[in-house]
């Protein structure tokens, strides 16, 4: 497993980097534009995301990070008057092709939001199984329980909840609820996991456990994480993309982006001159 960076300050030069994950593109956004009515929120972004890697997206508030993510899993189109153009290739197939069902394709594209969003009236077990129910009504109870256990284990939550799977999800702490949401997203075995500021509402200990989880999932599932915390991006990502005003300014190996960015706007942002 790759060693993670301890923080921005001790980011090592790219030449010291351990071998990268296999260079296969899992997801490719091509000339992606997105609008909310007349508001042009994402401007012709082309961005490849490698299989098994962790890509961080950073940039000031309102620069289009969440909108971009929501285009990658076909959620943007659920907003009234919203529009997308361009292509999003998941393992080479455009998820916007006619004939691709948005609900079916989202099974491969798990999403976790800033605030934990467990279903409040459901048990811990049913929360994890919720995605499966929608996807496949024929699944047996035994299969479901096995998938729930595996997803909770991958989300590093199993030991904390295995004796109270029927308790309400609301009985969990904020950090546990967020790991529950990650387990719910993992239950359908997605090819890509999108995390939109997953630790923004968490205390430091819970943040650490989610970061640890991301490190453990690296290599198993492709992850794209939006974060305002540059230390976090440096700690957990292989590559970082910097967005500004709807544009992708640059994308580079994380340590390169934080130590020798190629664009002066990136440098200004990471040194705290704006944002
Ligand atoms: N539902 C919406 N209707 C209209 N405009 C929207 C909507 N959601 C976002 N926008 C606009 O689209 C642009 C991009 O917003 P987005 O939420 O993607 O930014 P962001 O980079 O995720 O910001 P933050 O860091 O604050 O979460 C902004 O100008 C925002 O005001
Ligand atoms: Mg956002």
Q: Is residue 136 part of a domain?
A: yes
Q: Is residue 27 part of a domain?
A: no
pTM of the model: 0.90
Q: Is residue 217 part of a domain?
A: yes
Looking up residue 159, the CATH number of its domain turns out to be 3.40.50.300
Q: Is the pLDDT of residue 264 over 70?
A: yes
Q: Is the pLDDT of residue 158 over 90?
A: yes
Which among 35, 56, 63 is the best mutation to test ligand 1's pocket, defined by most ligand atoms within 8 Å of the CB? 63
Share of the chain above pLDDT 90, in %: 81
Ligand 1 atom 28, closest CA:
62
The number of residues in the chain equals 275
The contacts found for 161-168 with CB under 8 angstroms, 24 or more apart, are: 161/124, 164/124, 165/123, 165/124, 165/125, 166/123, 166/124, 166/125, 167/123, 167/124, 168/120, 168/121, 168/122, 168/123, 168/124
Q: Is residue 40 part of a domain?
A: no
Tally of domains in the chain: 1
Pocket lining: 41 vs ligand 1, CB cutoff 6 Å = yes
68 Cα–ligand 1 center, Å: 10
Q: Is residue 6 part of a domain?
A: no
Q: Which H or E run includes 108?
A: none
Average pLDDT over residues 164-168: 97
Q: Is residue 71 part of a domain?
A: no
Q: Is the pLDDT of residue 22 over 50?
A: yes
Q: Is residue 225 part of a domain?
A: yes
pLDDT at 274: 77
Q: Is the pLDDT of residue 145 over 80?
A: yes
In which domain, by residue range, is 106 found?
52-66+101-270
User: In this predicted model, what pLDDT tens digit does every residue of 223-242 receive, in sequence order?
Assistant: 999 999 999 999 999 999 99
145 Cα–ligand 2 center, Å: 34
- Please name which of 217, 197, 216 lies closest in space to residue 207, comparing C-alpha atoms: 197
Q: Is residue 13 part of a domain?
A: no
Ligand 1 atom 20, closest CA:
62
Pocket lining: 20 vs ligand 1, CB cutoff 6 Å = no
Ligand 1 atom 2, closest CA:
36
User: In this predicted model, what pLDDT tens digit does every residue of 191-218 receive, in sequence order?
Assistant: 999 999 999 988 999 899 899 999 999 9
Average pLDDT for the chain = 90
């Amino acid at each position: 497993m790759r060693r993670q960076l301890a923080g921005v300050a001790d980011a090592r030069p790219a030449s010291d980097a351990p071998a990268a994950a296999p260079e296969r593109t899992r997801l490719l956004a091509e000339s992606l534009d997105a609008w909310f009515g007349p508001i042009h929120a994402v401007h012709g972004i082309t961005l490849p995301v490698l299989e098994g890697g962790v890509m961080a997206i950073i940039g000031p508030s309102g620069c289009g990070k969440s909108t971009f993510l929501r285009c990658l899993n076909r959620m943007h189109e659920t907003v009234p008057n919203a529009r997308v153009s361009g292509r999003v290739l998941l393992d080479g197939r455009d998820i916007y092709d006619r004939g691709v069902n948005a609900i079916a394709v989202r099974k491969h594209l798990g999403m976790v939001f800033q605030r934990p969003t467990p279903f409040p009236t459901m048990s811990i077990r049913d929360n994890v199984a919720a995605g499966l129910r929608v996807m496949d009504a024929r699944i047996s109870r035994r299969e479901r329980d096995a998938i729930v256990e595996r997803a909770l284990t991958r989300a590093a939550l199993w030991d904390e909840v295995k004796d109270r799977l029927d308790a309400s999800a609301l009985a969990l702490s904020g950090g546990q609820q967020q790991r529950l949401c990650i387990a719910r997203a993992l239950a359908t075995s997605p090819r890509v996991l999108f995390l939109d500021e997953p630790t923004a509402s968490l205390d430091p200990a819970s943040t650490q456990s989610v970061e640890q989880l991301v490190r453990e999932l690296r290599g198993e599932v492709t992850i794209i994480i939006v974060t305002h915390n540059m230390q976090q991006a440096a700690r957990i990502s292989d590559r970082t993309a910097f967005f500004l005003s709807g544009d992708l300014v640059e994308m580079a190996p994380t340590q390169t982006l934080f130590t020798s960015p190629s664009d002066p706007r990136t440098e200004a942002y990471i040194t705290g001159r704006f944002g």
